[in-house]
Structures are given as structure tokens and as C-alpha cells.
Structure 1
Amino acid sequence: MSERDFLLEIGTEEIPARFIDPAVEQLKELAAAVLQENRLRYREIKTFGTPRRLTLYVCGLAEVQDPLVQEVRGPAVKVAFNQAGEPTRAALGFAKSQGVEVKDLVIKSVGPVEYVFAVLRQEGRPAMEVLPQICPALISGLHFPKPMRWGNLEVRFARPIRWLLALYGSEVVEFTYAGLRSGRVTYGHRFLSRGPLEVEHAAHYFEIMEKGRVVVDHRARREMIWRQVQELAARIGGRVERDEELLAEVANLVEYPVALCGSFEESFLELPGEVLITPMREHQRYFPVWDAQGKLLPRFIAVANGNEEHLDTIRTGNERVLRARLADAVFFWKEDLAVPLARRVEDLKKVVWQENLGSLYDKVERLVGLSRYLAGVFHLAPQEREKVSRAAYLCKADLVTTMVYEFPELQGVMGREYALRGGEDPEVAWAIFEHYLPRFAGDALPATMAGRILSLAEKMDNLVGCFAVGIEPTGSQDPYGLRRQALGFCHIVLDGRLVFSWRELAEQAYEQYRRQVKLDLPREALLSRLAEFFAQRLRGIFTERGFSYDTVEAVLAVGFDDMAGALERLQALAAFREGEEFEAVHTAFTRAHNLSRRHGSTTVDYAALVHPAEVDLYRAIREVQGAVEEHLAQRRFLEALKAVARLKEPVDSFFDAVMVMVEDEKTRNNRLGLLKAVATLVLNVADLSKLVISQAG
């Protein structure tokens, strides 16, 4: 089949950097779907993006659509033909309605009944007829977080569209969109290329873009920037840590990158490292430079959009901007240090945390209470408990400092630094910083016990408060970051193997709120919703760690109030499924659980046992129960499951010898109690009925 390459370039005003990568992925998915829908085969789809263009390049796009073959079902064969095999009026009418001859009808079975089918074949249209309809659909199908309109057009896009390039091989795909007519003209770099550039053939596009000083491939720009940054850092005896997020953003700010190295006064190095890095990275998009010992150098690397001409002027401008920001930071630092952190806590009374949940000072009071509760649960020494309480009291004070007001990203960081400079215990200072951890996916978890406790208290306070006043994540909306908070909570518990009841902590948080504000959700309803919310997070964490979905469900089904215990039970069950004793326990549990599922008690009247098989099972249960309880107390969950395997033979003998569902109520309840006791032993670890067991043969 003949094929050509297809090129679509959407030329725009500068698109925000954060829009580009999602738009490139979106364009690829959209193109694949639209081409499939239109029965146009292709070899490969590539998409690219720069600040001034989004590009779709389809390699080997078929010149003609695949034919459309449809089978339309008609009447049943016994209705379509008489006993002599001649077509009836039903067959003749159906064939005529579909535009085919009766002789061309085919017979196919649908279940037990045979029907006649008309096979309709529609020849494919040339790609050049289809592409003019596809192109506008591709452009209008792209969505952006904040699209805009321009002129008097109803069209919405990331930024105003300025030109449209569309070629199928060497032919222009003609269409109009946003008041523009497509053609073979594109534009190069805004400053390094002059005038329009004509593309004779789709295959020439990348060569022409290179001449126009545009690196179209955003991935290539990223690596180009990284090489330049590394080379510059090495020249000054430094190194730069690879920062994928910053690299991606910088790559999407330029079309032809050139890196440059700037400097600032060494006196600024007296500031904490994060105070220097934040303006560089978050505000100016610069790469900080470290020496071999990991100390910041008074240097930075920036990336300009152009060539090496006027680079000295650009460097001077960047140095001037950074110097001003760092001078501000020095001023904020000195001003903030003049007031001890503890004296700022009172100022939190003037700051509303959430309109229905009180001030930041109210939150601090709750965090002190929750931290004291957890310190008691974890049996911390009195001195350590005081450090936790002190950290909870001070943890929000930096929010009313000038530095954090100017650089919100430094919350927690400045709390730690001001606490250290103010003479607070280092453990208190680090807990202030760590209570925000983890701040994003892959971020570090709190390393100190005080930090873990305060972080858990903070996250539970946020979750309980928001859920209690009706603020829950919906779809993609999660303004308070509650999913992230719950994930962080789970990771801290699991990573630290912290054994406690999250429900009891939630109840403590609920009671503290209830003393301060009016809550909309009753306590039990809140706990139920939180349980569902945490379950979703744990499912994700456990499956990411490689546990099968059904193993996870089996463990979560019997509870996860002790999250660390849930992980241990999960590990035990996963290992147990690989062992020889699994089948014995699974069989015994299944037979016992299926019958006793609705029976609510494990009570058995020994004196009323009437058959030796009942007595044997009762004695076996008592013996195994003691072993299981001892294993559970020591958190030896795998051994607990193995102990239950000893019940396989007594359970089988019981089922062979007696009928459970007899008319006599006392006998029936006794037997159901025995089976319930067997099932309960396993349910201490997992609900094996949730497991998907493949059947051999």
C-alpha cells in the first residue's frame, strides 16, 4: 500500500512551559484515535513541542483508507428460505434493502440460530480527502488548563494561533481554522531566523527547522541543555544535580538553548542553602552549582533562548536580577531573626487556616494535643515527649515570617533554621521541618521520631478537619492536597513500621476539633469515609510494591487499623501462597467459611457435641487456637497461617461424618460455631475468599 509522511504544525504565541509536555502527549493520543477511527494506517506517530509550536509527524500514513466491511444481520435462515431452499419475500426484501443480490447473502450462526447476513463493503477514500477534516478536529480536540480566546473568534487554545502548516508528502492539506488557512509556510526562531520558511516536503521539515534555529524535539532540547550545563559546571570545578522537573521546564521555555554561567557575591553563602536555591530554581529557573564536597558555590547556570551573541549582556542581566532577590532574602533573614520563633506563635491567631476550622493557632493547639497522644502511644521518654510538644507548638510559627511570606516554598525550612538560630534543640528544629514531609511524590520521609509523630499529627488533623466539614477530593479537584496527605501518612507508617491505631488517632483529632468548631459529619460517618479513603491509598501502595490485587484485597478485607500490621500480614500471605501448606488452609477455610459466613458466634457447647468428629474438631481448634494467638501476639503472621494447616484433616473428617444444617437448632448452631471458629482463625490474618485461585486443567 502506498504511503507518505504527514506533517501538522500549529504555530502559536509563546505557550506556557507547563502546558507543553501534556499537550504533546495529548496530541499523540488524539492522533492515534482519530486515524484509527478514520481507518488510516500508519507506521509511527511522533509529536513535538516548543514554546511557539506543537507538531504532529505521522510516518508512513496510508494514501487510502482501509475499506469498511460491515455485516448486517437479516432474518433467520428458516424464515429467509422455504423448504425447497428458495428465497422468501423476507430474504428478497432484506437483500434489496441492503443493495445486494440474494445469492451474495451469507449464513452465520448466532448462538443456536442461523441467520442470513449482508456483507457490505465500502471502499476507502483517499487520505487527501480525509485529512482536511481530521486536522481541525485534532486542533480543537486539544485541551489546556487555562485556554484563551483572541480577537472576535470563538476558538480557544493555549495561546493565539498564528500559522498552520499541513503537508501530506509534498502536497498541502488545505483547511481553515481560527481564521487561518493552512499552507506550507512555517517560522523559525523569533530572533535568530528572519521571515517565513517554506517547506517543500514533510520530510524536509526538521532540516528546515534546524536552519531556522529551532530544536523541535523537546526531548532533544532537554538533553542538549543537560550536556551544556554539565560542561559549564565542570569548567568551574563544580557539579550540577540532575533535576528532571527543572530541566523539563527550562527546555519548554526555549527553542534554541544556550547555557551560560553567572555568579553572585560569596557573602550570600552565609544564608541557608535552601534560601539561595529557592530563588534560583523556583523564580529564575537557574541551576545551582555545588563543589565536590556538596557545598554551594557562588555560581549559577542559566539557559538563554538564542545563540552566544550578546551572552555577556544576558549574563549581566541575570546576575543583576538574582543579586536583587538575594539581597531581599538577606534583609528578610535579618528581620526575622530579630524576633524569636516562640514569640511569633501568638500571631497565628490572626491567620485563618480554613474558614470553618479556625485559625492556625487553633491548629497548633490541636497538633500539640495529637503529638502528645502519639508520643504516649509510642512510649517515648518524658524528655522526648517534651521535644515533640515543643516542635508542635513552634511548627507553624514560620508562616508569619517575612521570608516565608515572600517565598512560601520555604515553609518548614525556615522554621528549622530560625529554631536552630534561636537556640532550640536540634531535634525540635528538624521535627519542624520534617512535619511537612513528604511534600510530593518521591520526596523524603521524616527521619526522626519527633518528625514522624508531628507529620502524622499534621496530616490526620488536615484529613479529619476537611472531611468533617464536607471538603473531600472529587475527580481531579483536591485543593487541600488530601490525597497527598493520606499517601504521606501511609508511607510514614509503613516505612517506620509504626504500630498504632489510625482510627483512635482520628477520634482524638475529631474530639479536639469538636471542642473548637462545629462539625458537619458525625464521628462514625467520618471514620467510615476515612477508612475508604485510606483503603484506596493502601491499595495503590501495595500493588506498586508488587503484591497481587487479590492478595491485597484479602488482607484489607479484615481490616487495616494497624497499617504496619496490614503490610506484615500481606507479606505473610504472599509468602504463604507460595508454600505447600496453602492449599490445606485454603480448603479448610473455604469449607468452613462458606457455611458459617452468616453465623455470628464461635461459641460451642462442648457438652452438646454428639459425634466423635465434632469432638475431634473442637479439640483440634482449641490446640491450634492457642498456637495462633501466641503467633499473632508476636506478629508472626506466617506462622499463624501455617498453624491453621493442622486443621485440614479434622475439618475434612467433620464434613465426611456429619451434616451441618440439621433441623435441631442447638446441634446446628454448635456445628456452625465450630466452623466459625475455624474461619476466624484465618480471618485474623486475611479473608482467603477474596483470593482468585486458578484451576488446573
Structure 2
Amino acid sequence: MSKNYLLEIGVEELPARFVGDALEQLQTNTSDFLKEERINYNSMKVYSTPRRLALIVEGLEDKQEDLKETVKGPAKKIAFDSDGNPTKALLGFMRGQNIDIASIYVEDHNGVEYVYADVVKEGKEIEEILKENIPNIIKSINFPKSMRWGGKNIRFARPIRWLVSLLDDEIVSFDLEGIEASNITKGHRFLGSNRIELNNVNEYVEALRKNFVIVDQEERKDIIKYGSERLAKEKGGNLQQDENLLDEVTNIVEYPTPMIGRIKEEYLSLPADVVITPMKEHLRFFPVLDDKKRLLPYFITVRNGNDDFIETVIKGNEKVLGARLEDARFFYMDDVKRPLESYVEDLQRIVFQEKLGTLYDKTKRVQNLGIKIGEYLEVGEETERNIERAGYLSKADLVTKMVSEFTELQGKMGMEYAKCSEENEIVSLAIFEQYLPRFAGDELPTTTAGSVLSIADKMDTISGLFAIGIHPTGSQDPFGLRRQALGIINIILDKKLNLSINELVETALYFYVEVNGLAFDYNKVKDEIIEFFSGRIRNMFMDMGIRYDIVEAVISTNTDDIYDMKIRANKLNEWLKKEGLSEILSAFNRVANLAEKAISDEVQRDLLTEEEIELYESFNNVEEKINSSIDKKEYDKALDQLVVLKEPIDKFFDKVMVMVDDEKIRNNRLGLLKKIYDTMLQICDLSKIVNK
């Protein structure tokens, strides 16, 4: 007979950012526990509000499946005496397994006979298993920050105030360090009952609903989303979509009621971000936009309760927002009294990182690195001037009052203040775009100057922190260096930039020496950064669906141009779909294996035999064509030319012994193979490809 089980962990208000991961852990850990305990069930649903984490398991079997297993006992020679009677060793084994002599049989194991028994362990009742294990499930939930309370040893994000543990209509009681599980839950803190007695698991969702708690987070999310969109449309606008904000608001209310308030017209003359940022980041309000994405004089917020006295609540929210926007207007008006350029010198008093100097030092490095990247890309004179100017102004807004108060506006206010200071449009936009992308899936820079500045800023941070020994380890990446490296790679691929990672790293490290006089093991740090980028490239290419062996074949070449690597990978991916490549790959594997033993690629023709000459001349005939195709980035055509060598390579290995005793002849033959291998490496390393 199947049963339903409810677990509810009642807490003081959880931080919204903790809820999603905690729910996932609760579901995963419970599912793993039930599987391990051999308990089948039909479905599992997890719920959350700010004051509770809960799960309902439906269709639980009422006991474990019986476990049938073969148990190995002592060796036969010590299990029976000379008369064939059980010894103490065998009797102890039977007693431990609760079996008699009739269950015993003997089998050979690695040449030694042992006694065995087929044992059936009867499954435990579900109540007993839940009582033993649910406390451990609760304790297994980890949070970014946990706390202890009331002298208890258990750690949780917030104090646990009640526990519900109900199997159909029966309480599965357990004690969690003085917190007794029961069938009593709590409703909304102000609108619902503080004591709701549940008679059955099936009552849970509706009993809480009657007490102003929508326990299903997805239902709350829909109420907020569609209710807010309806209010926005009533004013002729659209809700600004922000999934992260929607999730956060969902996790801070138990009974959502969307409501719309008004923004005073006097604040709409401010830049839109100056108004929107305090609304979203500080007050969790949703902006309302018109069809052209312009801010309308409305905001939408969500009340944790019903619509009683809603007008009074709206007025209170309007007053709170007004105070925030008044502060923002004061900061903005005070900031624009000075040109953005005048703030640059103030960066000398702000430390970027203790060993890496001030923000002013970083500004100089980013500006210089941006100029060098522009030179590598051979940008025009106007773009070069824009990069230099944007680099100089890039961090100036960080010391303005607005950004000091609303740090989320870094870059955005730099762009706005640059416009107020009559900087050109490209320079202004590049100041904002230096921070893009800010997270996975974020927009990328649209301008060349912005792209260059973003690469320079991120590369400066990565290089500097690696130089002082700070880099990601395992899952730890407190400075977001992986994200910044991925940002650089994404920009390069999106803008199709031909940039050498080696040159970028070398230049960035050079400026740390020149600007800061930083001392470090240059070669070691450079190699660490290159390997760090290689790891990100591998992961990104494989996420794009490129085979791991193709990625390795491309990364193993002599190119460090990320965009060029992507071209090679795509070309190789298509080329490998051709028929009959298995033997070709085998031939080039043999070349690669021996070429690594060569000391040079020098070949003396007069030392070559007939078969060697055939391979030598075949290679000379296609070398120029291969190089021409490589120059045009027609890597598939270069590979086609390389395939011409398959037959002479096979003849060479059939007729020629490479590793002969004569050193001159041996080195000459290895040199020929190295010439072929080095040419192959200009395209990809075919020896990395797995034959399929």
C-alpha cells in the first residue's frame, strides 16, 4: 500500500538567494536517500516560501524492498572440523546472518573453498526509515552562510522554529536537537493562524492557502508576473522583464499582491538608470516602460499580503521611492558640476589591490594595454584616439557620489557623465562597455573601442592577480577570473578578432612591471595564465558541441589566436565527416610519434633512399599549396593537400627503418618526418583525433 509523506522545515525568513539551491539539495538528497534505502515512490515535489522549505513524496511504498544477497563466510577448512561438523567460526557466521546449516554451501574462490549463504534481509517499515534518516536530510542542506542558535550544534541559514513530519495522517516523530516534529504548521506571519493542525498530507497546500500562504513558488511567480504585466498594460506600458528580480521577489513573499505606484515627473528628467537602479536594486520594484523602452512614471511592487488598505501601502512605497530618488538626484546634480576628466586624479586615493596599486595605476595600465591591442588589430586613427580617451576616463566614475552610493551604476554613470562632459558617443559608450559581459548570457560590447577596453580591463585584472599568486582553485574563484576570461573569449569570437593570447598576456604583465615595478617569476606566471585560458577555451568549444579530440587537435597547434582556433575546429569538424579517414589518421599518427624524436627538420637529399625521395618530393610538391590554403584560412583544403601524402607515407614505413644505428641517416629520416609533422601542426594535430 502506497503512502504520501510531508516534510516541512519552518524557519525565520530565509535570504532569497539561498532558497533555490536549498530546495534543489532537499530534493536531490531525499531522492538519493530513498534510492539507497530501496524505497520506490511515484513523484516528489518541493515547495518554498521565505519561512519554510517543504517536500511532498507521493506513492511511497510502505516498506523497503527485501534485500537478497550472497554472503561470503569463512574458508571451508576453518568452517568445519575433521568430522565435518561446524566450528565456532561457522556457527558465529550463521548466528550473525540468522541462518541455519541448511543454508550453507561451498564454492571455490581464487583456488580456495569458502562457505556461502544466500540471505534475505526483510525490508524495514517506511516509518522507521524516515524517523532514522530525515534528521540527517535536514542537516545535509548546506548554505553559503550558516548559523547556530540557542546552544544547538545544528547549522542552518536561519533558526529552525518548527518541523512537520507527516505520513498520510500519522506523525513521523523525531527530535532535532530539541525541535520536535509534529503536524502543526504556521500560516502568514500577520494574516494567518500561528497554529494550523494538519490531519493529512493532502490538506497541506490548501490549508496554507486559507491562511494566506501560497506554498508553491511557481504559482507565486505566476501571480507576480501576470498580475504585474496586467497593471503595466492598464497604464499603456510594459513590465521591464528581469527574471532574476522576479525570482528574488517570489522568494521574499508568501502571499503576493502586485500593486502599481507613481513616480514623480520631476525625477524622469534624470538618466533612466539613475531612476531604475534604486528601484530594482534597493527596493525590488519593477520599472514600467513604453513600447520604445522609455521609462514611464510608474513602478510595480509586490505586497506580502492581501489587498486590504492597498492605497495606503502604495502611498508608503511612493514615499520611500521618492526619498531614494531625491538622494539620487542630489548625487547626480552634484557630480555633473565637474567634467568627468577631473575625477581621474582622485583615483590615486582608491586602492585597486594592495600589491597592484591604485585605481589610477589600473587606469594607466588599461589605457596602455588598450592602445597596444588597437595596434595589434591595426585599427584606424580615430578608433585609436577613442580607445586612448576611453581608457583614460574608464574608471573616473568610481569616485563620483552616485557610483559610491549605487555601485551597480559603475560604467553606466561613466557613460552618462562622459556625455555631459561632451565626450563623443563612442568614447562614452566604451566606458560602459568595458564591463561587458557582466555575467553568463549578458550582452557584449557593440563598438571596437568598447571591445578593446573590455579585453584590456579583464586581461589586466587576470594578469595582475596571477602575478601575485591569486588564481582560481577548484570551485573557488572569489574574483571571478573564470568569468572574465570567458568574457574575453566571447568578445574575440563575437567580433572575429585575430589576437594572440601570448602577446596579450606578455603585454599585460609588462605594464605591471613598468607601471607598478611588480616583481614576479615572469615565465611561470605567463605559462599559468596561458594554461588558464586554454582550459576556458576547451570548455567553451566543447559547450558549443565540438568534439573533445578536435578541440585538443586545434589547441595543440602553434596558433594562440582564439578566433582562428574556432575556424580550424569548425573546418576540421566538417572534414572529419568524410569517408575513409581512418587509415589516413593512422598514417599521420605514425609520423607524429617519430617526429617528436627529431632534433631538427633539416633534410639532406643525397642521404635519401628511393622510398624516402618519393615522400620527400611528394611533400615538396604540396607544401606551397598547403601554406597558401593556410594563409587563406582554408584549413579543409590544406588538409585535403596533406592527404596526398598518405600513400608515400605508407610506402616509407613499409620499406624504411627509421631508427637505424647510423646517426646521420637516422636524423635525416627523422628530419623528413618532422618537416611533415610541423606542416601538419600549422593546421591541427591529427594525432589527437580519435579514430571512430
TM over 0.5: yes
1:670 pairs with 2:663: no
Say yes or no: does 1:408 pair with 2:411: no
Distance in 1, matches of 2:88 and 2:581, equals: 61
User: What is the deviation of 1:34?
Assistant: 2.0
Task: Tell me, yes or no, if the aligned pair for 2:553 and 2:687 is still in contact at 8 Å.
Answer: yes
Which secondary structure state, in structure 2, belongs to the residue aligned with residue 182 of structure 1? Answer: strand
Match of 1:576 in 2: 575
Q: How does 1:482-501 map to 2 (within 5 A)?
A: 482-501=481-500
CA contact (8 A) 2:383 2:448 kept: no
Look up the SS of the partner of 1:270 in the other structure. Answer: coil
State the match for 1:303 in structure 2. 302
- Residue in structure 1 matching 2:659, options 644, 658, 661: 661
* Partner secondary structure for residue 181 of structure 1: strand
Map 1:134-283 → 2, pairs under 5 A: 134-283=133-282
Would you say the 8 A contact 1:95–1:105 is kept in 2? Answer: no
Cα distance between partner residues in 2 of 1:455 and 1:87: 83
CA contact (8 A) 2:75 2:114 kept: yes
Residue in 2 that maps onto 1:383 = 382
Separation (CA, whole Å) in 2 of partners of 1:144 and 1:380: 48
Q: Offset of 1:384 from its aligned partner?
A: 2.0
Q: Which residue of 2 aligns with 1:641?
A: 639
Distance 2:452 2:204 in 1: 58
Q: Which amino acid aligns with 1:35?
A: L
1:618 corresponds, among 616, 627, 638, to 616
Q: Deviations over 1:551-603 (max 9, x none)?
A: 21222223552111111111111111112363354132112122333223222
CA change 1:90–1:501 in 2 (3 A) is: farther
State whether residues 388 and 428 of structure 1, in contact with CA within 8 Å, keep that contact through their aligned partners in structure 2: yes
Match of residue 684, structure 1, among 659, 682, 685: 682
Identity of aligned residues (%): 44
Matched, 1:630 2:604: no
The answer as to whether partners of 2:18 and 2:143 remain within 8 angstroms in 1 is yes
The CA deviation at 1:658 is 1.9
Kindly indicate whether the alpha-carbon contact (under 8 Å) linking 2:582 and 2:691 is maintained by their aligned counterparts in 1. no
C-alpha spacing 1:96/1:156, structure 2 compared with 1 (3 Å): closer
User: Judging changes above 3 Å, is the alpha-carbon distance between structure 1 residues 591 and 115 closer, same or farther for their aligned structure 2 residues?
Assistant: farther
TM-superposed CA distance for 1:81, in Å, is: 10
Q: Map residues 589-628 of structure 1 onto 2, 5 A cutoff.
A: 589-609=588-608, 611-628=609-626
Deviations 1:42-89 (A, max 9, x none): 22222111001110211111211222333233467899899x998997
Aligned counterparts of 2:50 and 2:581: Cα–Cα separation in 1: 59
**Alignment CA distance shift 1:607-1:388 (3 Å):** same
Instruction: Work out the CA distance in 1 between the residues paired with 2:506 and 2:630.
Output: 26
The answer as to whether partners of 2:361 and 2:516 remain within 8 angstroms in 1 is no
Asked if the contact 1:569–1:637 (Cα under 8 Å) also holds between the matched residues in 2, the reply is yes
Match of 1:693 in 2: 691
Contact 1:470 1:520 in 2 (8 A): no
After TM superposition, the structure 1 stretch with the greater mean CA deviation from structure 2, 552-561 or 310-319, is: 552-561
Show the counterpart of 2:44: 45
Match of 2:130 in 1: 131
- Any idea what SS the aligned residue of 1:73 has? strand
Aligned to 2:501: 502
Contact 2:287 2:300 in 1 (8 A): yes
Q: Is the 8 A contact 2:276 2:287 kept in 1?
A: yes
Letter in 2 for 1:680: D
Equivalent residues of 1:4, 1:63 under 8 A apart: yes
Unaligned runs of 5+ in 2: none
Per the normalisation by structure 1, the TM-score is 0.95
Structure 1 unaligned residues grouped into runs of 5+: none
1:152-179 C-alpha deviation (Å, 9 max, x unpaired): 3233222122211110111001111242
- Quick check: 2:351–2:358 contact (8 Å CA) kept in 1? yes
What is the distance in 1 between the residues matched to 2:264 and 2:322? Answer: 8
**SS at 1:157 equivalent:** coil
| Structure 2 match to 1:319 | 318
Aligned 8 A contact 1:13 1:162 in 2: yes
Partner Cα distance (2:400, 2:66) in 1: 69
Cα 1:302–1:577 shift into 2, 3 Å: same
Quote the residue 2:425 is aligned against.
426
Aligned to 1:517: 516
**Could you tell me whether the CA contact under 8 Å between 1:470 and 1:521 is conserved in 2?**
no
Report the counterpart of residue 549 of structure 1 in structure 2.
548
For residues 112 and 395 of structure 1, do their structure 2 counterparts lie closer, same or farther at Cα, with a shift above 3 Å needed? Answer: farther
Deviation at 1:516, TM superposition (A): 3.4
Instruction: Check the 8 A contact 1:585/1:644 in 2, yes or no.
Output: no
Q: d(CA) in 2 for partners of 1:293 and 1:61? A: 53
What count of residue pairs does the alignment treat as equivalent? Answer: 691
| Pairing of 1:52-131 with structure 2 (within 5 A) | 52-74=51-73, 96=94, 99=97, 100-105=99-104, 116-131=115-130
In structure 2, how many angstroms separate the alpha carbons of the residues matched to 1:692 and 1:399? Answer: 51
Determine the C-alpha separation between the residues in 2 that align with 1:112 and 1:685: 56
Question: Any idea what SS the aligned residue of 1:604 has?
Answer: coil
Could you tell me which residue of structure 2 aligns to residue 538 of structure 1?
537
| Corresponding position of 1:372 | 371
Preserved CA contact (<8 Å) 1:87 1:102: no
Shift of 1:388: 0.8
Per-residue deviation, 1:520: 5.2
Query: After the TM superposition, which of the residue ranges 164-173 and 70-79 deviates more from structure 2?
Result: 70-79
Q: Residue type matched to 2:560 in 1?
A: D
Aligned counterparts of 2:588 and 2:690: Cα–Cα separation in 1: 14
Partner Cα distance (1:368, 1:223) in 2: 47
**Displacement of 1:274:** 1.3
1:111–1:621 CA distance, 2 compared to 1 (3 A): farther
Q: Deviations over 1:586-641 (max 9, x none)?
A: 132112122333223222111111x2111010001111211111111222211111
Work out whether residues 73 and 90 of structure 2, in 8 Å CA contact, stay in contact via their aligned partners in 1: no
Task: Give the alignment partner of residue 652 of structure 1, picking from 628, 650, 653.
Answer: 650
| Native 8 Å contact 1:559 1:566 kept in 2 | no
TM norm structure 2: 0.95
Deviations 1:514-538 (A, max 9, x none): 1233545311111111112111211
Bigger drift between 5-14 and 116-125 goes to 116-125
Q: Is the 8 A contact 1:260 1:304 kept in 2?
A: yes
- SS state at 2:297 partner: strand
- 1:368 to 1:121, Cα distance in 2 relative to 1, 3 A: same
Question: Quick one: which amino acid aligns to residue 649 of structure 1?
Answer: E
* Shift of residue 394, structure 1, vs aligned partner: 0.5
Q: Deviations over 1:187-212 (max 9, x none)?
A: 11112213311111111111211211
SS of alignment partner, residue 229 of structure 2 = helix
SS at match of 2:259: strand
Question: How far apart, CA to CA, are the structure 2 residues paired with 1:184 and 1:94?
Answer: 45
| Aligned-residue offset at 1:26 | 0.9
- Give 1:369 deviation, angstroms: 1.1
Judge conservation of contact 1:584–1:645 (CA < 8 Å) in 2.
no
